[in-house]
């Protein structure tokens, strides 16, 4: 249960070397920058470095341009990527490359837009091919107006209703299954009335204004323009492809360089300046101090100092967890709740041990447990799911407890020959559904809960001493006073029930129950006295007594409820046996292939459901019954600036 040791690095130098400093800090992959003004704002005239990142715009421009030609760039920069080229040359290249691509894309897009327009015109004109009309002369008539368009066949059949009007006549030229394409004519003074009639018949007008010659002649001219535009699109595609093949390596290299410089430039925003000097602060792993010193050593004007993070706790040093390989996957659960503060206990190992054991007890089956481990292995190998690495040891734990309980895919006596061969037993040692065993399982679950609650209190005492919160360590409900009270209840009454001990006497009650309760009741006052405060007296004794009475009462209820919550550990043992009993009952109602199929499907259902429920319930016990006693989770993660990490996250 450890947090990696860090040191605070303070770097001071001339502004003309700030770029080189940020580059070296980033390439070290161990520098976590922090806001300088939070350290020095009250004592120095430093002001923020409010410079815009000069690499953002060209980087975005290059990225967007490559996306437009369907060749998106992804960061592939290696650490220690150093370019001897000046940034000005790189920016000029970006401008030249993007300008050429944009020009080709503009010509291509204009041609594609023209093709769409030509396609629409050709489609319209094709319906009027064969009409011996000069479109320009027809549309220029002054005394007669012509309307070209499409009329539904149902509407065409209704034209007979208007036979008394000689101008309501439609001249079709082409048709399909639902419509006629053609035209109608009318004197100019009556065209509005005729338009209203045809509009009521759902006539859709098609404008042929601006065309010259017959429809066939216009189709020929437009088709030629269409071919020219298509050729231009193909030409631009070839140019874009050829240019990309020629420049793709340069684009990738320059993109990597700009991306890396942009990442490292971001470090400047955490710094501050005073005239021509800068100051930069951040955190590095203590074991990397020497390497970090060596990276800054060649810079002449730069001075630096290192201080243990323990001396800067008021600035909340970031946290990087450090745990054995077996327990690293369980950092996932800790991070879900919140990282520990730098001087707080890391509960990862405690979570790993208790989670594996309780999951195994609640989901005890040799065969199903091994299946869960295999599923976890697949999840990790296939998708790198962190949950998969958690399921692997949990499944093994389930298999171990399944061996103890004698359950293999719900078969409760399949391991009897193994017990006989190894231990000389005629039957399995634990019969879960036997009444006497059921009581033992329930009592054991309560015992597990009592033990874990007391361990959580011990961890809180240790953590509070580590954080120099001695009042909390001694007088809080989860400190020494709470441990003494809770332990006396468990030993006194539990020992009397289980072992027949008669130790709950008046002195026992006064010393181990009443006295700890009084310490918890006056926790705030005693803590302030212990810290040497002179204003320890409450503003109102009546309000203090009332408030603390209900708080202590709540603590007493929480002791009982937290302990009883662990009954679910034993309950799930019985639930597993009961669910598999149901599966076998259903299977026995069938025979042959039906029996086998029901057993397989039943095992899959029980395995999926119980693994989910057991996983959630154990996590609930971790968070609510144990974490709440000793863990705050107010830490912030240690995130060193690193181009490599940016690459992995991309």
pLDDT value of residue 650: 41
Interval 582-610 mean pLDDT = 91
Distance of CA 336 to CAs 317, 332, 345, Å? 19, 6, 16
For the ranges 212-221, 234-243, 595-604, the lowest mean pLDDT is seen at: 212-221
pTM comes to 0.77
| Cα–Cα nearest to 261, from 24, 517, 494 | 24
Mean pLDDT, rounded, for 266-292: 91
Whole-number pLDDT of residue 499: 65
pLDDT score of 189 more than 60: yes
Pair of tokens at residue 90? 């790189």
Averaged pLDDT score across all residues of the chain: 87
The rounded distance, in Å, linking the Cα atoms of 367 and 371 is 6
pLDDT at 648: 47
Categorize the per-residue pLDDT at 547 as very low, low, confident or very high, splitting at 50, 70 and 90.
confident
pLDDT score of 112 more than 90: yes
* Residues 559, 486: Cα–Cα separation, whole Å: 7
pLDDT for 172 beyond 60:
yes
Give the orientation angle of helix 567-588 with respect to helix 541-565, to 10 degrees.
Answer: 30
DSSP string of 562-623? HHHHTHHHHHHHHHHHHHHHHHHHHHHTS-THHHHHHHHHHHHHHHHHHHHHHHHHHHHIII
Q: What is the enclosing helix (H) or strand (E) of 209? A: none
DSSP 160: G
Q: Where are the beta strands (DSSP E) in 289-357?
A: 303-308, 321-322
Query: In percent, how much of the chain has pLDDT > 90?
Result: 40
Rounded to whole angstroms, the Cα distance separating 25 from 10 reads: 12
pLDDT digits 0-9 by tens, 60-99: 999 999 999 998 988 876 544 445 457 778 888 899 999 9
CB atoms within 10 A of CB 262: 18
The Cα 648–Cα 650 span in angstroms is 6
What pLDDT, on the 0 to 100 scale, is given for residue 466?
A: 87
Tens-digit pLDDT profile for residues 286-317: 999 999 999 999 888 899 999 999 888 888 99
Instruction: Please give the helix or strand (H or E) that residue 526 lies within, else none.
Output: helix 523-530
Residue 649 CB neighbour total at 10 angstroms? 8
């Amino acid at each position: 249960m450890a947090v990696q040791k860090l040191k605070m690095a303070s770097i001071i130098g001339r502004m003309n070397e700030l770029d080189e400093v940020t580059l070296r800090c980033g390439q070290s992959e161990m520098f976590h920058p922090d806001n300088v003004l939070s350290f020095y704002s009250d004592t120095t005239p430093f002001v923020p470095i409010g410079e815009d990142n000069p690499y953002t715009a060209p980087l975005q421009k290059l990225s967007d341009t490559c996306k437009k030609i369907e060749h998106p760039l992804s960061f592939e920069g290696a650490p220690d990527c150093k370019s001897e080229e000046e940034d000005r040359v790189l920016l000029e290249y970006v401008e030249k490359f993007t300008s050429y691509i944009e020009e080709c894309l503009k010509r291509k897009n204009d041609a594609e837009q023209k093709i769409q327009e030509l396609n629409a015109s050709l489609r319209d004109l094709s319906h009027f091919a064969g009409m011996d009309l000069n479109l320009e002369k027809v549309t220029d008539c002054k005394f007669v107006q012509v309307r070209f368009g499409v009329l539904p066949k149902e509407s065409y059949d209704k034209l007979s209703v208007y036979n008394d009007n000689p101008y309501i006549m439609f001249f079709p030229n082409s048709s399909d299954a639902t419509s006629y394409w053609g035209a109608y004519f009318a004197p100019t003074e009556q065209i509005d009335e005729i338009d209203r009639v045809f509009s009521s018949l759902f006539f859709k007008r098609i404008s042929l204004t601006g065309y010259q010659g017959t429809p066939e002649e216009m189709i020929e001219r437009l088709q030629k323009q269409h071919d020219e535009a298509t050729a231009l699109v193909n030409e631009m595609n070839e140019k874009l492809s050829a240019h990309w093949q020629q420049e793709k390596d340069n684009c990738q290299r320059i993109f990597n360089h700009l991306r890396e410089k942009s990442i490292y430039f971001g470090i400047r925003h955490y710094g501050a300046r005073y005239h021509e000097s800068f100051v930069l602060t951040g955190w590095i792993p203590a074991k990397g101090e020497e390497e970090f010193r060596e990276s800054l050593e060649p810079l002449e004007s730069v001075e630096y100092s290192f201080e243990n993070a323990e001396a800067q706790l008021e600035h909340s040093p970031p946290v990087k967890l450090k745990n054995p390989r077996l327990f690293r996957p369980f950092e996932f659960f800790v991070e879900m709740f919140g990282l520990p503060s730098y001087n707080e206990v890391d509960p990862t190992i405690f979570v790993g041990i208790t989670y594996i054991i309780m999951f195994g007890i609640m989901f005890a089956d040799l065969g199903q447990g091994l299946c869960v481990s295999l599923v976890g292995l697949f999840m990790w190998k296939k998708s790198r799911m962190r949950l998969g690495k958690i399921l692997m040891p949990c499944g093994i734990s389930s298999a171990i407890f399944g061996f103890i309980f004698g359950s293999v895919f719900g078969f409760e006596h399949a391991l009897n020959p193994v017990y006989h061969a190894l231990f000389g037993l005629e039957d399995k040692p634990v019969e879960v559904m036997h009444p006497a065993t059921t009581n033992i399982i329930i009592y054991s679950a309560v015992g597990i809960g009592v033990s874990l609650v007391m361990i959580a209190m011990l961890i809180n005492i240790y953590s509070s001493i580590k954080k120099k919160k001695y009042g909390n360590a001694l007088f809080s409900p989860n400190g020494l006073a709470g441990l003494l009270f809770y332990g006396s209840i468990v030993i006194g009454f539990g020992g009397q029930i289980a072992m027949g001990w008669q130790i709950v006497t008046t002195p026992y009650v006064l010393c181990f129950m009443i006295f700890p309760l009084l310490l918890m009741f006056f926790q705030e006052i005693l803590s302030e006295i212990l810290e040497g405060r002179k204003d320890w007296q409450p503003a109102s004794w009546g309000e203090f007594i009332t408030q603390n009475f209900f708080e202590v009462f709540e603590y007493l209820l929480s002791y009982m409820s937290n302990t009883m919550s662990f009954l679910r550990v034993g309950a799930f043992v019985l639930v597993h046996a009961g669910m598999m009993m149901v599966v076998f009952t259903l299977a026995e109602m069938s025979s042959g292939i039906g029996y086998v199929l029901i057993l397989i499907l039943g095992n899959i259902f029980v395995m999926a459901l119980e693994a989910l429920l057991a996983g959630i319930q154990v996590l609930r016990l971790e968070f609510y019954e144990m974490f709440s006693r000793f863990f705050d989770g107010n830490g912030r993660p240690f995130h060193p600036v690193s181009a490599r990490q940016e690459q992995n996250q991309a």
